[in-house]
Structure 1
């Protein structure tokens, strides 16, 4: 299962890099969101997909799950949501002010 999720992380990173290297602002924003989801999955795989009881002080449980990866993923989800919301507002305001969505035109390049 961990190998399958690791391959999925690789595919998501590939798609995210492709979107981040495009010229459209909305594709760049979607690429950053996909990359953040890939990081969430990577954190989950690095923590290990173990089955066990909650990490409470109980003498009957034989194995415990580590709560640290869950806390890291929750923090990363909140941060990526805030960054994506900020980038969406920034992209919207840029489009409203300039009427452009192309990143090369926003930089002032007219011919290539």
Structure 2
């Protein structure tokens, strides 16, 4: 299982008339956009299969726990899609360097106590 931080973070962007402005980078939105990006050339079936993962991303509270099969879909997307920028670097790092964690079923944990 992998653990990915999907909380939003702040960016400083250059304004057309000069100066900078701090804006929120909505990590969940961009994570879903990469997962379903046209450069992946997904079939209709592929898109439907990614639906539950998309729902899980939208509903999570800031930390996304995903099984290895779903993580591989995210990893493949982030290794395939082109055009990431400096603004995306934090999210790209969060995905590609996601920590692997061990998770035990609740019943097994109760049995040990």
TM-score, normalization: structure 1?
0.28
Higher strand fraction (1 or 2): 2
> Rg: which structure is higher?
1
Structure (1 or 2) with the greater helix fraction: 1
TM-score normalised to the size of structure 2?
Answer: 0.28
Structure with the greater relative contact order (CA < 8 A, sep ≥ 6): 1 or 2? 2
